[in-house]
Structures are given as C-alpha cells and as structure tokens.
Amino acid sequence: MTGIVLVTHSGLGESLRHQAEVILGKMVPMTTVSISYGADPDLALDELIASLGMGQDSGGVVVLTDLPGATPHNLAQKAAEARGVPVISGVNLPMLLKVINHADKPPNELAAVASLGGHQGILNS
C-alpha cells in the first residue's frame, strides 16, 4: 500500500478526509498536515518531513496539496524532493476518493491516478 499525506491550508485537509470517510463508511489511513496562515515556514517544513516518514506505508507515499504555488504546496515540494516522493496539487474530493481506492498502486502510478481522478471530478454542464 502507498501512504497518503494531505498537505493543505488550515482545516481543508481534515474536512476532505472527513467527507471521504463519510462517503466510504470507514476510517481512512492517511496523514493530514494543516499549514496555518502565518505559520513559521521552517517549523512547518520540519513537521512535513516528519509527516512524510509517518505517512509512508510499505509501498511508499504520495502527497496531495490544495493550491499549486501556495505555501502548503511549496513546503510539500521541498519536503518531498529529497525522498523522491510525488506531489500532486489541486486536491479535490474526487481525486482523494480515487487515491484512497487505488492505494495499492506504487506512488508514481498513484500520482497519475490522482491527476486523472481530479480531472474526472470537474464537469462543465
């Protein structure tokens, strides 16, 4: 299994996790990291690095972030670089559900599944 680490602005990751658990009817094994407004970037980076270690499962880990270019994403990129961990931005509920349901895939494959799930969840009707 590949571990899932969700790195977002305050409260968003926890809310997405909660909704995924309600939809799936079970607890979801993942690590959430909230980056609050005005957080010390160095302390947040240390927390993220530790979270990658805690969130890693036997198959590795994948990181989902909310907004590309924003502080949570930038810090996640820094934390993931040294470990070769994929980071996917633009997390939405369809992406998260897809990742949870396909966590048996290795990290790089799961990253591709995440991107596809996120795009499939966007409709213009």
Sequence-ordered list of residues with C-beta below 8 angstroms from that of 75, at least 6 positions apart, any chain: 7, 35, 41, 44, 45, 48
* Average pLDDT of the residues in 43-61: 82
On whether residue 115 sits in a domain, the answer given is yes
Per residue in 9-48, pLDDT (tens digit) is 999 999 999 999 999 999 999 999 999 888 888 899 988 8
Can you give the CATH number for the domain in which 53 is found?
Answer: 3.40.50.510
Position 73 in a domain: yes
pLDDT above 70 (res 56):
no
What CA–CA distances, in Å, run from 100 to 64, 71, 105, 124?
12, 24, 10, 25
- Considering its fold, how many domains does the chain have in total? 1
For residue 55, what pLDDT is reported?
62
Average pLDDT over every residue of 84-89: 95
Domain span at residue 18? Answer: 3-120
pLDDT band, very low/low/confident/very high, at 6 (cuts 50, 70, 90) = very high
Is the pLDDT assigned to residue 53 strictly greater than 90? no
- Give 50's pLDDT tier (boundaries 50, 70, 90): confident
Establish if 125 belongs to a structural domain: no
Instruction: Note whether residue 43 is domain-resident.
Output: yes
Please, which residues bridge with residue 8 across strands?
Answer: 34
